[in-house]
């Protein structure tokens, strides 16, 4: 008889939800995490009374009512709506691309004028079937917006020219002929009041959690504790990188406390020129409409990931897709281990999709 039914490796969103549902079904569960805190990459840390998104800004948004009802059991969500501002060498534009953007860029006033402008730039570029991100972007919004708001930002974020990137990346961004600055097309959106760490702590309430506990270092002892393992760490690390390491884009944050109450007037400002070395500045207090006397900002630098760095964005190209498929085959053969979450499945998951995936595992498994 083992002491636990499940050992959950990783106290992020996926692991926490699985643990919560398993305990609800009467299972004995131990959650471990190698970090000194729960919440994985949605971890928020309070600085000067402000919840700072330590591993990058997370804005919850979903079209799935079930997911929204599920997550709002654990925290009240505020009415934050993401409306980033783009700063191109001091010129400010509204994002995502909408009538405010088109008016500022071209002086156009009506949706028809904006559409005509985009159409003429698309035709002048002579693109019929977009083959890469550059061509996709120009055919969506024309050359001016591509040059000022997309080209530099995308090259900085992905470390590759837009002509070498797949077009689907840009399809995440809405293009609207209305005056709507909401970055997402989701029905439900907000930030958990009190921070994401509190949200995860609520999900993990009354569940045994061991922090500073690295599964891969203590695998032999830990495996003996439970019948089954839910592993949310990196899939390639689990198999000792035997086929080589999967690639990620990484991000470095330079966080600063400023002795003023308002630095940029918005939670997110993107620096879309190629020369500014960071991609964006996050001013954390505005996710929660903060009125603190000080403010905390993070400059975000995108970088190529190397072993030992924190992995962020999976690189969804052919090479990594093939490598992942090899690890996935090994994972499928591990009878007692279930792989889940962004790192376990090597997927560019938004939070709502992580919840969907965790709940679907619960349905199958519990
Ligand atoms: N993007 C851009 N200019 C911007 C913001 C986004 O060109 O000001 C493009 C860029 O190619 C980026 C993609 O849109 O990779 C998706 O951006 P998003 O903000 O959704 O990425 P995330 O917030 O997940 O980092």
Residue 213: pLDDT band (50, 70, 90) is: very high
Give 8's strand partners: 31, 230
170 alpha carbon – ligand 1 mean position (Å): 7
Q: What strand order describes the sheet that includes 295-304?
A: 91-94, 85-88, 268-271, 280-283, 295-304, 248-258, 313-314
Minimum-distance ligand 1 atom for the alpha carbon of 162 = 11
**Per-residue pLDDT tens digits for 113-161:** 999 999 999 999 999 899 999 999 999 999 999 999 999 999 999 998 9
Q: What angle do CA 74, 78, 81 make, to 5 degrees?
A: 125
Q: Quick check: CB of 149 below 6 Å from ligand 1?
A: yes
Look at the block and give the residue holding tokens 């299972």. Answer: 27
Nearest ligand 1 atom to the CA of 158 is 15
Report the catalytic residues: 172, 176, 249, 280, 300, 348, 350
In this predicted model, which residue has the larger pLDDT, 332 or 316? 332
User: Could you tell me the distance, in angstroms and rounded to a whole number, from the CA of residue 1 to the centre of ligand 1?
Assistant: 50
Ligand 1, residue 95: give the atom nearest the CA: 8
Which neighbouring-strand residues pair with 92? Answer: 87
* Ligand 1 lined by 170 (C-beta under 6 Å): yes
User: Does pTM surpass 0.85?
Assistant: yes
69-96 pLDDT, tens per residue? Answer: 999 999 999 999 999 999 999 999 999 9
Cβ-based burial of 108 (10 A; exposed 0-12, middle 13-18, buried ≥19): middle
- Is the beta carbon of 41 within 6 A of some atom in ligand 1? no
Residue 324, number of CB atoms within 10 A of its CB: 20
**Does the Cβ of 38 fall within 6 Å of ligand 1?**
no
CA torsion through residues 11, 13, 15, 16, sign: positive
- Reference 44, options 219, 148, 194; nearest CA is 194
Say how many Å lie between the CA of residue 149 and the centre of ligand 1: 10
Q: What is the pLDDT of residue 166?
A: 87
Neighbour-count burial of 118, counting CB atoms closer than 10 A to its CB (0-12 exposed, 13-18 middle, 19+ buried): buried
Ligand 1 atom closest to the Cα of residue 137 is: 7
Q: Ligand 1: distance of its center to the CA of 157 in Å? A: 8
């Amino acid at each position: 008889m083992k002491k636990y039914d499940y050992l959950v490796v990783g106290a992020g969103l996926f692991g926490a939800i699985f643990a919560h549902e398993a305990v609800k079904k009467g299972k004995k569960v131990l959650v471990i995490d190698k970090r000194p805190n729960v919440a994985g990459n949605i971890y928020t840390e309070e600085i000067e009374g402000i919840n700072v998104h330590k591993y990058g800004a997370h804005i919850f948004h979903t079209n799935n009512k079930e997911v929204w009802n599920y997550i709002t059991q654990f925290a009240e969500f505020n009415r934050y709506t993401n409306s980033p501002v783009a700063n191109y060498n001091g010129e400010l534009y509204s994002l995502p691309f909408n009538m405010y953007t088109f008016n500022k860029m071209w002086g156009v006033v009506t949706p028809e004028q904006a559409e005509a402008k985009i159409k003429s730039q698309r035709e002048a570029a002579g693109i019929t079937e977009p083959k890469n991100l550059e061509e996709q972007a120009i055919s969506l919004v024309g050359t001016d917006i591509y040059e000022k708001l997309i080209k530099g930002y995308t090259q900085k974020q992905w470390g590759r020219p837009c002509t070498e990137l797949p077009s689907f990346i840009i399809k995440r961004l809405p293009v609207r002929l209305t005056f709507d600055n909401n970055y997402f097309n989701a029905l439900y959106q907000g930030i958990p009041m009190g921070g994401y760490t509190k949200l995860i702590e609520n999900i993990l309430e009354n569940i045994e959690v061991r922090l500073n506990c690295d599964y891969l270092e203590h695998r032999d002892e830990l495996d003996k504790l439970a019948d089954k393992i839910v592993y949310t760490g990196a899939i390639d690390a689990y198999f000792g990188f035997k086929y080589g390491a999967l690639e990620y884009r990484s991000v470095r944050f330079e966080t600063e406390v400023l002795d003023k109450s308002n630095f940029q007037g918005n939670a997110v400002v993107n620096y879309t020129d190629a020369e500014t070395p960071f991609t964006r500045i996050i001013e954390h207090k505005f996710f929660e409409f903060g009125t603190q006397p000080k403010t905390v900002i993070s400059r975000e630098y995108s970088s190529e990931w190397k072993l030992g760095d924190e992995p962020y964005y999976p690189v969804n190209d052919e090479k990594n897709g093939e490598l992942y498929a090899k690890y996935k085959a090994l994972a499928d053969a591990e009878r007692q281990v279930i792989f889940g979450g962004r790192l376990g499945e090597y997927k560019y998951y938004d939070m709502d999709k992580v919840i969907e995936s965790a709940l679907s595992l619960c349905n199958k498994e519990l």
